[in-house]
Amino acid sequence: MKDHIRHARPHISRDEDLIFERSAPGKCGVDPLPLEVPSVSASELLGKEFHRAEIHGFPEVSELEVIRHFTRLSTWNYGVDTGLYPLGSCTMKYNPRINEVVARLEGLATDHPYTPPELAQGCLRILDETARCLAEITGMDAVSLQPAAGAQGELSGILMIRAFLAERGNPRRYILIPDSAHGTNPASVATSGYEVRPLKSGARGTIDLAEVDRAMTEEVAGLMLTNPNTLGIFEVQIREICNLVHQKGGLVYMDGANMNALLGIARPADFGADVMHLNLHKTFTTPHGGGGPGSGPVAVKKFLEPYLPSPTVERAADGTYRLNYNRPKSIGRVRAFYGNFGMAVRALAYIAANGGEGLLQTTQDAVLNANYVMRRLQDVYDLPYNGPCLHECVLSDHRQAARGVRTGDIAKRLIDYGFHPYTTSFPLIVQGALMIEPTESASMDELDEFIEAMRAIAEEIEEDPEFVLKAPHTTRVSRLDEATAARKPILRWKK
Amino acid sequence: MRYLPNSPSDRAEMLRTIGYGSVEELFSQIPQEIRFQGRLNLPGPLSEQEILDFFREAASQTSREYASFLGAGAYSHFRPVAVDAMLSRGEFFTAYTPYQGELAQGTLQAMFEFQTLMTQLTGMEVSNASLYDGSTATTEAVLMALRLTRRNRVLVARSLHPEYREVMTTYVRHQGTEMVNVPYSAAGQLNMGELELALKPETAAVVVQSPNFFGVVEHCRKVAELVHQKGALLIVSVTEPLSLAVINPPSEADIVAGEAQSFGVPVAFGGPYLGFLATREKFMRQMPGRLVGQTVDTEGRRGFVLTLATREQHIRREKATSNICTNQSLCALAATIYLCLLGKEGLKALAEHNLAKAHYAAHQLLDVPDITIPFQGPYFNEFVVKVPGGAEGLLRILRREKILGGVSLGRFYPELKDHILVCVTETVNKATIDHMARVYNDYAKRKKSGNARKATASHALGQENV
Amino acid sequence: MYPEEFQYTKDHEWLRVDEGIGTLGITEHAQKELGDVVYVELPKVGDPVTASETLGTVESVKAVSEVYSPVTGEVLAVNDKLQNHPELLNSDPHGSAWLVQIRLSDPKEIEKLMSAEEYEAYVREDKAH
């Protein structure tokens, strides 16, 4: 027997082929549904011009092979279910299982978007109730769930600002965006036909009031800001900033990506924002799914309500729900149908599970966790902006860079310790940023382990930087050649 | 709260360790005047059981007991149970965008497979890793064509999904672009004569849907010839990609974009769905959305990474090809699993099943007096019927029989107010189709006798006048 | 490190002028900051270029850098080798990885550019920040 295992190799589960490479003619993962109507000849019905005989290269595999294939692939991933996922600005918190169950209930998962409203009251009620909850949390007056993701929420919001100002005679030309902002902000502004005017952050990493005063002219339509900002710091002068913008006839857009820091603590409408979006996949636990689907509801003050995307869900006096398409001032549609309904179901389940008190406790825990990490790492990693943070903290690799090790390398080494990396190189205003957002889903024990790992890496960098530069050492694949991937892109399998 | 792992004593210890007396001190940076003082008026806190009860109650107020002939951009197809079994693995659905390739090979390899499947289906050379939905994917294709051609006029078939056209209008309104609708012909296809007239040198792109909103297959090759003669690009939007298993792909197009919800994604009252965009290799660098590429690691092993990221917003900011930040990774994964399960033969068999059932249904309805199928072009699983005297009334009667009979076209096309768009997939059985046909027959009979009664009444009235 | 016969811009480009024809490239410092170059976008022969305006882009895996023309004129030649071998910009930025040749329409424009010595000082200062 010994002879036979002499040539043992790692099990195939560590090296699963592409599904196309498992394919063989005649295999199929489903059996055909019997046809109870007369069969037709596709080639005759469609004719030579239209009929397709075969999809070349398409896979042919059994059900079991599909299950094994995707199960194996899944084990090469790291999810929130696996462990701490401290990606700053992404809010990788626990995705409750009940959300998944209710989103798949027959009726909610199976109602067609063109079901007559009187037969889809349950779905419309969920949309309306979710919108009401989000309005309550933000202090805003009206919410549309149509935007498919945060970036579309941004676009919708900026288009509403444009529509509002245009109706008053001049849509204006510029939108002010702090240099600490997420990249989608300027990209969305460009799509809406405005030009970006960057605002330089002040010494504390926050917006400088004098800078706003200088930049805010009659040509500026508004300010787009994130609060707390991408450093996890609250804009202390937020009211003054909003007042300045309003005095010059501009509006304030708030990127609600960091709302996890404010639940039950402060409401954007109360501190001066006119319009904002929320990321249901961040604050409200709809799963990130490996990069989507997201959902980016947009919330507005009363005066902007007429401009919300069309249609809106409305509740009549008799308690029934309907879709209102008669909205002459609306910016129009930003996507087909009514938005990512399945995400609204999950978000509402999460809000209801918590109630107001639960959400407040959530925010408190998230903020405590971030401060705990920051304080226990600031003696080994530089802290460019000191002071209590909110939901996330930003350190820098300044000291480690002197040994030739950058934030991206430290992140890769963290993988060997069993953690998902933090966010690297963002925000851009901090050179070599380590952006850490533990969220409320991290326990103290897990944070202690994370902190120990980070401190151990700092020591390794002093002793053997080369070893860190080659990390990760324990994953299925080592560092991947991104340069070759981009120089000669291979974007599909070919025989 | 059951989702929070820290105990009260953990919290106290953490505060002590970092030198704070209370968690409130951490929030002291927020000015007191703007702190929220009240209690949020929200439902809950609810136990898991109560949540389930709440949503079950909501789910009971839906059309789940109804048979459905609704299509029009969202298609009910059977989802093999393996799809949800795989999607429910936490490593897939609780992972982030695969920026850290070494920890995300599962997502990355699956997306690479998705891209490959979409190129095989569409006849294109490259595909992205998905976009929000069909409406935004088609719109992104238009924006891409505007960048590629540097022209500013777009011709859009009126037979493109009306909601897609609305989304397009929202997006191009501020790009200085002129959007012109091209009418449909008597056969329900793009009117080639009108297209020729509308094609001007400044035309960047022509957008057609195939099968189009009326279910009719377009002559993509002929349209492509005309469009390319004028140096414009052809964008073909596909909302029912199952059709591509029996209908030739629009490989003459420059961009094929649309909706792939049909592949294992539930209709879920309109979302989340699965936009896709595929194109020719030479246009690769102007594509919006994420792309996964194959590469090797330091040991020479095959691996996958997000690539050509410099097109995207997090690097190029306001100069990015699009403001999109997410894709629909989990929906794309659903489609990948679905397509692998069905495979070459299964998908073809399913498409032929849809084709047969739709044609059977059409014939049953055609047998009804006065009912016609006005558009004679070839169709896949969706067709338009004309019901003289009002589609709405008939749809109401069908609802009483627990049948959602289709989408009334009057709301989108005033000239088609007597028309119903009927979609027939494998999810409706023969008995339901026959039932629907009977309702049509009864309706036609009643109408006839009703007309006769009316005629008698006016005759009587006439006599009185004399 | 920086050839004496070149002149330099604040955007980290070099220009070598020979009988009214300028050859343009990016500097060693620029390639280092960018990292592995993966793609280069350049104008076509015959295109007009204007001083201080974008003439093309150089992309690495995680960054995009615009190339600004230091001079006004017409593109005479484009380095086609870079299409398939963008990595040359990392290995030989001052030599075989030149970007374009431009016929200068206003030779006075080059007076504003830096000498090798000035540029080295500029880079040192840039790094200190």
Chains touching chain B through at least 3 C-beta pairs below 8 angstroms are: A, C
Q: Are B132 and B328 in contact, with CB atoms under 8 Å apart?
A: yes
C1 to chain B, any CB pair closer than 8 A? The answer is no
Which 3-state string (H, E, C) describes B270-305? HCCCCEEEEECHHHHHHCCCCCEEEEEECCCCEEEE
B382 to chain A, any CB pair closer than 8 A? The answer is no
**What's the rounded Cα separation, in Å, for the pair A445 and A359?**
22
Q: Do C62 and B285 touch (CB under 8 A)?
A: no
Per-residue DSSP letter, B363? H
Handedness of CA A406, A410, A411, A416 (dihedral sign): positive
Higher pLDDT, B448 or B240: B240
CATH 3.40.640.10 residue ranges of chain B are 81-339
Q: Do A441 and B164 touch (CB under 8 A)?
A: no
**What's the rounded Cα separation, in Å, for the pair A88 and A80?**
14
Average pLDDT, chain A: 95
Q: Closest residue of B to A285, CA-based?
A: B94
CB burial of A436-473 (b: ≥16 within 10 Å; e: otherwise) equals bbbbbbbbbebbebbbebbeebbebbeeebeebbebbe
**What's the rounded Cα separation, in Å, for the pair A226 and A233?**
10
Taking 50 as the threshold, does the pLDDT of residue A213 lie above it? Answer: yes
Complex ipTM > 0.90: yes
Residues in chain B: 466
Q: What is the pLDDT of residue B322?
A: 75
Q: Which residues of chain B lie closer than 8 angstroms to C64, CB-CB?
A: 310, 315-316, 319
Choose among B285, B315, B319: nearest Cβ to C62: B315
Q: Are B310 and C62 in contact, with CB atoms under 8 Å apart?
A: yes
pLDDT in tens, B278-303: 999 999 989 999 999 999 999 999 99
DSSP 3-state of B212: coil
Distance from CA of C83 to the nearest CA of B (A): 13
Q: What is the pLDDT of residue A31?
A: 96
Q: Are B310 and B318 in contact, with CB atoms under 8 Å apart?
A: no
Taking 50 as the threshold, does the pLDDT of residue A279 lie above it? Answer: yes
pLDDT in tens, A68-88: 999 999 999 999 999 999 999
DSSP sequence for A149-162: SHHHHHHHHHHHHH
DSSP sequence for B303-329: EEEE--GGGSHHHHGGGSS-S-----H
Q: What is the pLDDT of residue A102?
A: 98
Q: Which residues of chain A lie closer than 8 angstroms to C82, CB-CB?
A: none
Q: Are A258 and A390 in contact, with CB atoms under 8 Å apart?
A: yes
Q: What is the pLDDT of residue A455?
A: 98
Higher pLDDT, A175 or A202: A175
CA dihedral A405, A408, A409, A415 (to 10 degrees): 150
Q: Which residues of chain C lie closer than 8 angstroms to B309, CB-CB?
A: 61-62
pLDDT in tens, A142-193: 999 999 999 999 999 999 999 999 999 999 999 999 988 888 899 899 889 9
Q: Mean of the pLDDT values across residues B381-393?
A: 93
Residue type, C19: E
**What's the rounded Cα separation, in Å, for the pair A98 and B45?**
14
B35 to chain A, any CB pair closer than 8 A? The answer is yes
A168 to chain B, any CB pair closer than 8 A? The answer is no
Q: Mean of the pLDDT values across residues B387-391?
A: 87
Q: Do A480 and B101 touch (CB under 8 A)?
A: yes
Tell me whether residue C117 is in a domain.
yes
CATH 3.90.1150.10 residue ranges of chain B are 344-453
- Tokens 């431009």 label which residue? C102
C-alpha closest to that of A344 among A89, A133, A153, A139: A133
**What's the rounded Cα separation, in Å, for the pair A480 and C104?**
43
**What's the rounded Cα separation, in Å, for the pair A48 and A46?**
7
State the pLDDT confidence band at A10, using cuts at 50, 70 and 90: low
State the pLDDT confidence band at A8, using cuts at 50, 70 and 90: low
CATH topology of domain B344-453: Aspartate Aminotransferase, domain 1 (3.90.1150)
Domain span at C40: 7-128
Q: What is the pLDDT of residue B452?
A: 63
Taking 80 as the threshold, does the pLDDT of residue A127 lie above it? Answer: yes
pLDDT in tens, B155-202: 999 999 999 999 999 999 888 899 999 999 999 999 999 999 999 999
| Residue B336 CB neighbours (<10 A) | 30
Q: What is the pLDDT of residue B466?
A: 34
Q: What is the pLDDT of residue A387?
A: 85
State the pLDDT confidence band at B389, using cuts at 50, 70 and 90: confident
Q: Are B83 and B264 in contact, with CB atoms under 8 Å apart?
A: yes
- The CATH number given to B81-339 is 3.40.640.10
Q: Are A123 and A111 in contact, with CB atoms under 8 Å apart?
A: yes
**Range with the lowest mean pLDDT among B350-354, C101-105, C124-128?**
C124-128
State the pLDDT confidence band at A313, using cuts at 50, 70 and 90: very high
Q: What is the pLDDT of residue B456?
A: 58
| Share in percent of chain B as helix, strand, coil (round to 5) | 45, 15, 35
Distance from CA of C65 to the nearest CA of B (A): 9
Domain containing residue C43: CATH number:
2.40.50.100
Helical (H) or strand (E) element with A252: strand A251-255
Cβ under 8 Å to B: A residues 111-130 = 111-116, 119-123, 125-126, 129
Q: Which residues of chain B lie closer than 8 angstroms to C59, CB-CB?
A: 310
Higher pLDDT, B449 or B259: B259
Q: What is the pLDDT of residue B61?
A: 98
Tell me whether residue C1 is in a domain.
no
pLDDT in tens, B435-459: 999 999 999 988 888 776 665 555 5
The phi, psi pair for A419, rounded to 5°, reads: -115, 150
Q: Closest residue of A to C129, CA-based?
A: A431
Q: Closest residue of B to A147, CA-based?
A: B132
Which 3-state string (H, E, C) describes A60-94? CCCHHHHHHHHHHHHHCECCCCCCCCCECCCCCCC
pLDDT in tens, A383-392: 999 889 999 9
Q: How many domains does chain C have?
A: 1
Structural tokens at position C47: 């295109």
Residues in chain A: 495
State the pLDDT confidence band at A11, using cuts at 50, 70 and 90: low
Helix axes A444-463, B8-17, angle to 10 degrees: 40
C61 to chain A, any CB pair closer than 8 A? The answer is yes
C114 to chain A, any CB pair closer than 8 A? The answer is no
Chains touching chain C through at least 3 C-beta pairs below 8 angstroms are: A, B
State the pLDDT confidence band at A12, using cuts at 50, 70 and 90: low
Structural tokens at position A228: 């707390």
**What's the rounded Cα separation, in Å, for the pair C84 and C39?**
9
State the pLDDT confidence band at B465, using cuts at 50, 70 and 90: very low
Q: Where are the alpha helices (DSSP H) in A216-273?
A: 238-247
Q: What is the pLDDT of residue B464?
A: 41
Q: What is the pLDDT of residue B319?
A: 74
Q: Do B285 and C39 touch (CB under 8 A)?
A: yes
Interior CA angle at A87 toward A103 and A487, to 5°?
100
Cβ under 8 Å to B: C residues 19-78 = 38-39, 59-64
DSSP 3-state of A277: strand
Q: Do B51 and A441 touch (CB under 8 A)?
A: no
Q: Do A331 and B170 touch (CB under 8 A)?
A: yes
Taking 60 as the threshold, does the pLDDT of residue B462 lie above it? Answer: no
Structural tokens at position B288: 């919006």
Chain B residues in contact with chain C using a Cβ-Cβ cutoff of 8 Å: 285, 309-310, 315-316, 319
Taking 70 as the threshold, does the pLDDT of residue A4 lie above it? Answer: no
C-alpha closest to that of A90 among A77, A79, A103: A79
Handedness of CA B387, B391, B395, B397 (dihedral sign): negative
Q: Closest residue of C to B99, CA-based?
A: C62
C-alpha closest to that of A352 among A185, A134, A178: A134
Interface with B, mutate which of A480, A488, A490, A495 (most B CBs under 10 A): A480
Helical (H) or strand (E) element with A395: strand A393-396
Taking 70 as the threshold, does the pLDDT of residue A2 lie above it? Answer: no
A160 to chain B, any CB pair closer than 8 A? The answer is no
pLDDT in tens, B97-127: 999 999 999 999 999 999 999 999 999 999 9
Q: What is the pLDDT of residue A9?
A: 60
C-alpha closest to that of C55 among C106, C112, C99: C99
Choose among B35, B105, B343: nearest Cβ to A266: B35
Domains in chain A: ranges and CATH: 2-75 (no CATH), 98-352 (3.40.640.10)
Taking 50 as the threshold, does the pLDDT of residue B463 lie above it? Answer: no
Q: Are A383 and B26 in contact, with CB atoms under 8 Å apart?
A: no
Q: Mean of the pLDDT values across residues A418-432?
A: 91
